[in-house]
Amino acid sequence: MDLLKELQENGYVLIKEAGLHDPNDTLETAVATFAQPISYLGLPLVMDLKPKPGFQPASYAGTGVFDLHTDLSWFEKPPKYIAMFCVQPESAGGGRPLLADGWKALADLSPEDVDYLKTQPVTFPAPDHIDYPPLTDPIVTDRGEGPFIRFRYDLLDEPPAPVQNFFAAINDNIIYVDVAPGTMFIFDNDRMLHGRTELKGGMNSDRHFKRLYGDA
């Protein structure tokens, strides 16, 4: 499978049986075929995504609903690609991963709303558990390969109607990702938004995913 071609055409790729022998190596090897594996903010290259105390509910280590978003919206150059590996889905049935194609959501909006998203700067703060200055930029930036999207609705302060409309359009384009132990999915963080449903087990949830960023 040509991973880069799939990403360019569809925004994401799903690999159902990547194997459980060495998830970290599986992620690194897959991403290295088309991008440079990279870590951010001094964190490990491969992150273990499990519930941890002290994190807000909508975070990689939280237990609540995590609305569809792009990662590191508050960072000047967010990661181009995100690879996720399912070690263990939550046995209680929560924490289901979600994707949505931001380009399709933009196509559902009025020209006026799209113009607002491209021209009006929005301030994106970092989440509470990260000490990092906010970044102000438009939600959508035009590029030759397609729009670059920067979006994290739950961190915005009183978003105006065009931003609310975009959030609604995103949620009208939800893809429920079907995962099992050994499933890997990779997506374009400039185009696709991702999230999850609530963890039904709370802090005792057995959900375990791994995450790796890739730089173009």
The confidence score (pLDDT) of residue 130 equals 87
pTM tops 0.75, yes or no: yes
Q: What is the CATH number of the domain that holds 177?
A: 3.60.130.10
Query: How big is the chain by its Cα radius of gyration, in Å?
Result: 17
Confidence band of 52 (pLDDT split at 50, 70, 90): very high
Residue 122: other Cβ atoms inside 10 A: 22
Question: For the residues 149-154, what does the mean pLDDT come to?
Answer: 96
| Predicted pLDDT at 103 | 98
Number of helical (H) and strand (E) elements in the chain, helices listed first:
5, 14
pLDDT at 216: 87
Mean pLDDT of the chain: 96
- Closest Cα partner for 179 from 6, 5, 10, 16? 16
Our count of domains for the chain comes to 1
**Owning domain of residue 61:** 3-215
Spell out the residues 6+ positions from residue 118 whose beta carbon is closer than 8 angstroms to its own.
138, 139, 140, 141, 142
